[in-house]
Chain A
C-alpha cells in the first residue's frame, strides 16, 4: 500500500506503476459521466463525431452531483460517487475510445473492464461512498458543463480539483481486482460461520 499524489495529464507509465490497495490523490481535471453520457459518448465515437471534452490523461468520475446555479455561476454542493456496475456493459469501449487514465466510482467493476484497464493502461479506483462533503471541498472550479440536456446529474461536468481523494486503487493494469478477491474470501467466511451456528 503506497500513497501517490498525481497531477493530470497522467501518463500511461505512471498508471502502470500502480497496484491494488495503493491510495492516490489527484489534482487537475476530473470529468463526470454516468449512464447517459457513457452511451452518448460511445455513440458519437462510432459515428466519427467529436465529443466536447477530452478524457485522455484525465479522470473519469462516475458521479451525479448536486449542482446549483447561483448568480449565473455553477457550483457543486455535494459530489460523492455513484454505483459503477451500471456502466460495466459499455466501459471497455469507453476506455478504448477515450483513454481516461483513472476511473473513479464505487462498488467495483467486472471482467471486461479489468481486461480493458490492462490493455489500454488505466486503473479503477473507489472514492468511499457518502463522502459528498469531502469531494465538494476538493473541487476548486467548475470549468464547464456539457450535455446539460441530459439533466444536471447526467451531464458531463469538467471540474478542476485539488488533492481529490483518497482514491483507492481496487483494479489495476496487472489484472488484479480487490472486488474479486473479497467476494471469494467473504463467501468462505460465510459458509464457515453458518456451519458453526
Chain B
C-alpha cells in the first residue's frame, strides 16, 4: 500500500536509557527519543479501554447507518495501528500532564525536553503543525509557541516521573463548555448542563464521544478537572460511589439522546462519562464539560528510579522496540 511510504523513517535501535547506576546519568537525548515515541504511540494507537468501548458499541448498535460508521472507525484505527500512521489528520494540540517526584534528577530540564520532543515528533511521526499565533494567524510549523505545548505539573514524593501526552483534536475542543449552574439545582442542574452541552454539540465533535465533567472549584478549575477526568480509562468508575453513580446515569441519559455516530442517529452517542470534582464555594456550582472525539488519543509512560521506562497506557513492553517506520 502506497501510503506507508509517506511516513518519515526514524532509525531505531534497542538501547538502554539508563547509562549509569543512578538516574542522574539519564541520557537526555534518549529521554527525548522516548518522548517522541510516546507521541507516536498516542497518535497511531488507541488505548485498550477506548478500543474495547468502540467494539462493544458496534456489537450493541441497532441503527444500520450507525453500525456502518462504527465498523469503518474500527477499520480506520486498526489500519493506523498496523501501519504506524496517525489515525486522524488532526493530531491536535499537544498537552502534557506530568507527575514528577521531587527527587527526579531532570526535574528542572524536563519542560525543555518535552518541547524538544514535540518539535521532533512534528517532523518525524509526522503530526500536523497545529500551533497558530492568534494575532498574526501564522502557524509556527512545529507545534510549539507561546505556552504551547501546555504542560501541567504535579509534584509528588519520590524520584520517578509519570508523563502523559494528550493530543486532542480541535473539532472536539470546539464544543467544550463551561456552565455556571445555580447551586440550588444540585445534581439535577449538573445533569441538565451536561445534556444540553452534548445536544448542542450534535455531530460536531465526531461522536461517539467521551465526556469529561469537572464539578466545583471555580470556573477555571472546573474546566481543568473536566480535562483531567479524560485521563482516566473509561472502564474505571470514580472511587466515590456517588460520583460513580452520576457517571453511570449520565452515560445512559446521554445515549438516549439518539445523536449517534457522527450525529446521524443511533444508540451510541457517548462511549464513556468520567467525572472529577473539587469542593465548591457556597454560592457557585461551576460545571466544566469537555467533549472528546472517538479518537481519544493519550499515552502515559513512567520513568522509574531504576532507569526503566514503562508504557502504562498501552500493552507495550519496551518503548524502544517501537518501530517509527511503520511496517
Contacts and interface: CB of A to CB of B under 8 A. Distances in A.
Contacts of A68: 6, 126
Interface string A106-144: 111000000000000000001011111110110110000
Given A126-B262, A128-B72, A186 B199 contact: yes
Contact of B264 (A70, A134, A178): A178
Nearest to A78: B89
For chain B, give the interface size range: 35 or more
Nearest to B2: A140
A193 B257 contact: yes
Contacts of B149: none
B124 interface: no
B29 to A, nearest CB: 26
A65 interface: yes
A131 B76 contact: yes
A120 B198 CA distance: 35
Contact of B6 (A77, A134, A197): A77
A1 B258 contact: no
A53 interface: no
A66 interface: yes
Interface in B243-273: 253, 256-265
Contacts of B69: 128, 166, 168
Contacts, number: 150
Contact of A190 (B2, B169, B257): B257
- B64, B89, B204, B294 — most chain A CB neighbours (10 Å): B89
B146 interface: no
Given A133-B79, A133-B85, A136-B3, A77 B126 contact: yes
B86 A132 contact: yes
A140 B1 CA distance: 9
B258 A189 contact: yes
Given A133-B85, A197-B191, A83 B202 contact: no
A131 B73 contact: yes
B5 interface: yes
A130 B68 contact: no
B178 interface: no
Contacts of A168: 65, 68-69, 262, 264
A66 B126 contact: yes
B61 interface: no
B104 to A, nearest CB: 35
A115 B126 CA distance: 41
B203 A106 contact: yes
State the 3 A-B residue pairs at the shortest beta-carbon distance, nearest first.
A78-B89, A129-B206, A132-B89
9 contacts: A68-B6, A128-B261, A129-B171, A133-B86, A137-B79, A182-B258, A187-B199, A193-B257, A194-B195
Given A128-B69, A137-B79, 5 more contacts: A70-B6, A78-B86, A130-B73, A189-B257, A190-B196
